[in-house]
Chain A
Amino acid sequence: EVQLVQSGAEVKKPGESLKISCYGSGYSFGTYWIGWVRQMPGKGLEWMGIIHPGDSDTRYSPSFQGQVIFSADKSITTAYLQWSSLKASDTAMYYCARLLGYCTSTSCPLDFDSWGQGTLVTVSS
């Protein structure tokens, strides 16, 4: 069974750094792209970007470029999302998801067939 298990909820202060994780099991982790999706409180879904754990090919949404960093360690089948300096506006639920399909040089499909349970990040002074 394909499973993505994310790290637990975090409460941080503005300016602090954070790295959350997404552990994959039940499939060949290095073969499938892993995407990240943000959902701010009471709001809709936002695509942050995507990473291929096999070769660390990474695509960022322009809205998140320079604000976050994606990484992955295929030896422990885990993907990461990190911030160097959190802001209150980063308060949200963050989901990782496995892509069914692949990104080309010019586009990525929106076919996330398995999702993590989400990690709630709260940034407050």
Chain B
Amino acid sequence: QSVLTQPPSVSAAPGQKVTISCSGSNSNIGNHYVSWYQQLPGTAPKFLIYENNKRPSGIPDRFSGSKSGTSATLGITGLQTGDEADYYCGTWDSSLSVVVFGGGTKLTVL
């Protein structure tokens, strides 16, 4: 059972928009920045979003992040088949003194 809760799966058609939620508490999301990672099948995770809504260099603006209270959301617009991957949120948890990840969300582009 992960400290951060993500839906196990989401799906949408090519070209459409999808959002992935990440729910936590005041000890983690509520008081710390959230990051997001994309993991394509058989590859290492890729840095997607940091400090809730910032994109590293090279990440297209189709990817966006937001945070409100103890929840965060990853948005992906203009879905492509190449976006099919597992997506993870994560942040520091001050009660556990550890970085915590969500359980991951599998995105299927139908």
Contact = CB atoms under 8 A, between A and B. Distances in A.
B91 interface: yes
A44 B101 contact: yes
Interface in A75-125: 95, 97, 100, 106-118
B104 interface: yes
Given A107-B32, A109-B35, A113-B47, A44 B102 contact: yes
B46 interface: yes
Contact of B101 (A45, A62, A113, A116): A45
Contacts of B44: 95, 115-118
Interface residues of A, number: 24
The range of chain B's interface size is 20 to 34
A47 interface: yes
A88 B100 CA distance: 24
Given A111-B51, A115-B44, A115-B45, 12 more contacts: A37-B45, A45-B39, A95-B45, A97-B45, A100-B56, A107-B92, A109-B33, A110-B35, A110-B50, A112-B37, A113-B47, A118-B44
